[in-house]
């Protein structure tokens, strides 16, 4: 059984906070389980195992598959990125796991409960979903919007929860403003405050930074990091690959079918292997002879002007051998560096592998 | 399965009421319609002389009762027609449906918010017309007819029941329509047929009596309940969100799996659960 990714310091999401300490956190009072009316909350089974377990999940609309045979697990407390081109099925997956639509086949567990019509209400108590459009009542104030959702979740002490959520997104001073008069960034923050109200085990965020300026997007990132520190599981769909690389412990790349799952680092290593970029002062007279003599070099290509790209299994092990070989060949070594691939490279490679344009 | 949760139901009603108060169209309708439906019948009543023939008086009374019932029949349908499609248009339906709110709570909450003001407005109009007729009408026959017990009973019973029909139809149309204005127009049209039945009583084609009023009231009640069952069945989360009906419900079933194409990454523990 997967134990989930390690949460070592230095993981992509472990960023130094650049905002006030309270940003992304909310009072301990808000961490109490939300009791359901009629005591429904009390009857819920114990929370162990992964936050999400998806197995062979498929959703079809007629002949068209929105997503097909999707399987993955998300550990509790993990920030899991869900990437894919437009129409890849990301939003439909979120809606399916959020109990809004029924899968055609396959199975899933959400927050410890099997995804089934019977469990819909119980699952919805344990999760929050923020769609791309936060969906606020524009004629109601920020507080009134949150009051509605606090009541729908049957929260005790809704006033405290609302105050805590507003503090967490730094909107306490805008609570009496009508949502229709807020900027997109502020509306997004209200949506995030709403997502916090029921103290969810799993938060689904569908493109939470779509249309936001870098500062506003950075604030959302800080909030997500705050949740990570509290052990909340975040399921994040995004088009921003740099965002996913920065925030997510692992990412899945979907193009109707799941193309890959792993940490950004593992995906890079798996897809591109290791590579070294060698630059010499002048082109090597016989590069074939130089690199063939280094056992660690699997392939090499010439980039021109004394630049060579070498495929290696382990760049750290291969680099000294390559350096010695180049120097032994009488060349002046200008630089020797590990080639860096971004998550974007991984993404584009996987999507290109499908051999067709995104749906 | 327990019944609707009162807290969630009232939360929906409160939210709707707040929105109505801040929606000029609805607020305007709530103010303008009563004024029209008070002034118009009073003019007719005040024009009746003391010696106006009974048939003419009955005609005025019939029109008056009918006008009284137009408000609970038409006004809530306009509001209800906006209720679901309006949520969808402003993108609030999806977050709403991801909360534990049940279909019954959502629909009843919205229905109450549309019904309570409509019925209250209808009763206020009727009360004001009755009071003004008592105080100022020259024709005493019209006062006596307006104060007729079965007529009043029919008014009191029919107003909420017509409103119930109207809201059910409006909500049903709203759940399936793709445009607010079309939904409102269709809702208004669909709310009118029951008025034909009330017209039979108002114009004494059917002699107003307590059994007739109660009988028709019960008939409306049965129709309302049936209509609400139909509307509740039409309120399908998946269809509302995606515009498509669920082809295979029952998530959690272990459907057959085609050969997997997932590219596994060596260092990621993804395979154990399969």
**Chain B residues touching A99 at Cβ < 8 A:** 98, 251
Give B257 or B191, the one with higher predicted confidence.
B191
pLDDT digits (tens, 9 = 90+) for B227-268: 888 888 888 888 888 865 544 333 333 333 333 333 333 322
Contact A36 B100 (CB under 8 A): yes
Indicate the burial class of B234 (C-beta count within 10 angstroms; 0-12, 13-18, 19 or more): middle
Interface of B with A in 159-178 (CB under 8 A): none
Please give the residue that has the higher pLDDT: either A70 or B3: A70
Is the alpha carbon torsion for A40, A45, A51, A52 positive or negative?
negative
CB contact under 8 A, B241 and A95: yes
Count CB atoms within 10 A of the CB of residue B132. 15
Fold of A28-262: Rossmann fold (3.40.50)
Does residue B203 have a pLDDT over 60? Answer: yes
Predicted interface score ipTM higher than 0.85: no
Q: Residue B266: its pLDDT value, please?
A: 30
Least Cα separation, residue A326 to chain B (angstroms): 33
| pLDDT for the residue numbered B244 | 53
Assign B268 to helix, strand or coil.
coil
Beginning with the edge strand found earlier in the chain, give each strand of the sheet holding A113-114 in spatial order. Answer: A113-114, A105-110, A52-61, A64-74, A257-262, A250-255, A79-83, A233-237, A202-206, A127-130
Query: In CATH, what class is A272-341?
Result: alpha beta
For a pLDDT cut of 70, what percent of chain A falls above it? 83
Q: B149-176 and B103-136 helices cross at what angle (nearest 10)? A: 140
Long-range contacts of A294-303 (CB under 8 A, 24+ apart): A294/A318, A294/A321, A294/A322, A294/A325, A295/A321, A296/A321, A296/A322, A297/A322, A298/A273, A303/A277
Phi, psi of B64 (to 5 degrees): -60, -50
pLDDT interval class at B207 (50, 70, 90): confident
User: In the numeric block, which tokens belong to residue A188?
Assistant: 């997004």
For residue range B138-189, list pLDDT tens digits in order.
888 888 888 888 878 888 888 898 899 889 888 888 888 777 788 878 888 8
pLDDT of amino acid A81: 94
Closest CA to B23 of B190, B180, B232: B180
Best of B251, B256, B260, B273 to mutate (most A CBs within 10 Å, chain A): B251
User: What pLDDT does residue A45 have?
Assistant: 45
Q: Mean per-residue pLDDT for B113-128?
A: 90
- Given a contact cutoff of 8 angstroms between Cβ atoms, the answer to whether B160 and B72 are in contact is yes
Number of C-beta neighbours around residue B130 at 10 A = 17
Phi, psi of A61 (to 5 degrees): -115, 100
Q: What is the pLDDT of residues B219-232, one digit of tens each?
A: 888 988 888 888 88
The per-residue pLDDT for A21 is: 36
Per-residue pLDDT of B56-109, as tens digits, reads 888 888 888 888 888 888 888 888 887 788 888 888 999 999 999 998 899 999
Residues 6+ apart with CB under 8 A from A192: A130, A134, A169, A208, A220, A223
pLDDT at A139: 94
pLDDT score recorded for residue A229:
87
Low-confidence ranges of chain A (pLDDT < 50): 1-46, 356-359
Nearest to B269 among A2, A133, A139 (CB): A2
In chain A, ranges of CATH 3.40.50.300 domains? 28-262
Q: Which of B14, B102, B240, B252 to mutate to test the interface with A (most CBs of A within 10 A)?
A: B252
How many angstroms separate the CA atoms of A205 and A219, rounded?
14
Q: Locate CATH 3.30.70.250 in chain A.
A: 272-341
For the four alpha carbons of A245, A246, A250 and A256, in that order, the dihedral sign comes to: negative
Chain A residues with CB under 8 Å of B244 CB are 61-62
For residue B166, how far is the Cα from the chain centroid? 4
Name residues whose C-beta falls within 8 Å of residue A70's C-beta, 6 or more positions apart in sequence. A54, A56, A57, A58, A89, A93, A106, A254, A257, A258
Q: Which two tokens stand for residue B78?
A: 């306009």
């Amino acid at each position: 059984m997967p134990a989930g990714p390690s949460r070592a310091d230095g993981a992509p999401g472990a960023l130094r906070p650049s905002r006030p300490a309270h940003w992304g956190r909310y009072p301990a009072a808000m961490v109490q389980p939300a009791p359901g009316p009629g005591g429904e909350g009390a009857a819920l089974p114990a929370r162990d195992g992964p936050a999400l377990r998806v197995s062979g999940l498929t959703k079809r609309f007629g002949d068209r598959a929105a997503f097909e045979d999707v399987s993955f697990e998300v550990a509790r407390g993990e920030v899991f990125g869900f990437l894919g081109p437009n129409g890849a099925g990301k939003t439909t997956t979120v809606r399916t796991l959020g109990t809004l639509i029924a899968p055609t086949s396959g199975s899933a567990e959400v927050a410890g409960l099997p995804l089934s019509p019977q469990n819909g209400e119980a699952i919805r108590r344990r999760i929050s979903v923020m769609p791309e459009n936060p969906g606020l009542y524009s004629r109601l104030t920020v507080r009134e919007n949150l009051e509605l959702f606090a009541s729908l979740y049957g929260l005790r002490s809704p006033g405290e929860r609302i105050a805590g959520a507003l503090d967490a997104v730094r909107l306490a001073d805008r609570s009496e403003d009508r949502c229709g008069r807020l900027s997109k960034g502020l509306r997004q923050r209200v949506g995030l405050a709403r997502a916090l109200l029921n103290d969810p085990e799993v938060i689904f965020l569908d493109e939470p930074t779509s249309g936001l300026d870098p500062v506003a997007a950075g604030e959302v990132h800080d909030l997500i990091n705050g949740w990570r520190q509290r052990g909340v599981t975040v399921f994040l769909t995004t088009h921003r690959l740099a965002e996913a690389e920065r925030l997510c412990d692992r990412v899945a790349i979907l193009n109707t079918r799941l193309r890959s799952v792993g940490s950004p680092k593992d995906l890079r290593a798996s897809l591109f292997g290791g590579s070294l970029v060698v630059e010499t002062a002048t082109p090597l007279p016989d590069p074939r002879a130089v690199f063939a003599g280094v056992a660690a070099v699997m392939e090499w290509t010439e980039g021109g002007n004394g630049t060579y790209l070498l495929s290696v299994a382990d760049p750290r092990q291969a680099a000294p051998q390559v350096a010695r070989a180049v120097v032994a060949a009488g060349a002046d070594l200008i630089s020797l560096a590990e080639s860096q691939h971004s998550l974007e490279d991984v993404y584009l490679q996987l999507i290109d592998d499908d051999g067709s344009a995104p749906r | 399965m327990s019944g609707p949760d009162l807290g969630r139901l009232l939360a929906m009603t409160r939210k709707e009421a707040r929105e109505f108060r801040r929606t000029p169209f609805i607020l305007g309708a709530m103010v303008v319609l009563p004024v029209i439906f008070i002034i118009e019948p009073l003019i007719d009543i005040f024009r009746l002389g003391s010696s106006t023939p009974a048939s003419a008086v009955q005609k005025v009374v019939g029109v008056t009762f009918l006008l009284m019932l137009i408000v609970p029949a038409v006004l809530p349908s306009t509001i209800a027609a906006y209720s679901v499609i309006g949520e969808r248009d402003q993108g609030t339906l999806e977050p709403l449906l991801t909360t534990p709110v049940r279909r019954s709570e959502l629909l009843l909450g919205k229905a109450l918010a549309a019904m309570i003001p409509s019925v209250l407005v209808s009763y206020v109009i009727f009360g004001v017309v009755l009071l003004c007729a008592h105080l100022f009408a020259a024709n005493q026959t019209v006062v006596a007819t307006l104060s007729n017990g079965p007529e009043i009973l029919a008014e009191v019973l029919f107003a909420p029941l017509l409103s119930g029909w109207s809201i059910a139809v409006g909500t049903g149309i709203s759940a399936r329509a793709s445009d607010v204005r079309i939904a409102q127009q269709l809702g208004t049209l669909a709310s009118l047929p029951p008025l034909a039945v009330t017209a039979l009583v108002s114009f004494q084609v059917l002699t107003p009596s307590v059994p007739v009023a109660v009988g028709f009231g019960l008939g409306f009640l049965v129709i309302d309940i049936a209509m609400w069952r139909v509307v509740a069945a039409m309120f399908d989360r998946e269809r509302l969100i995606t515009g498509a009906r669920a082809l295979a419900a029952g998530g959690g079933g272990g459907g057959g799996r085609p050969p997997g194409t997932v590219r596994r990454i060596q260092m990621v523990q993804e395979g154990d659960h399969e």
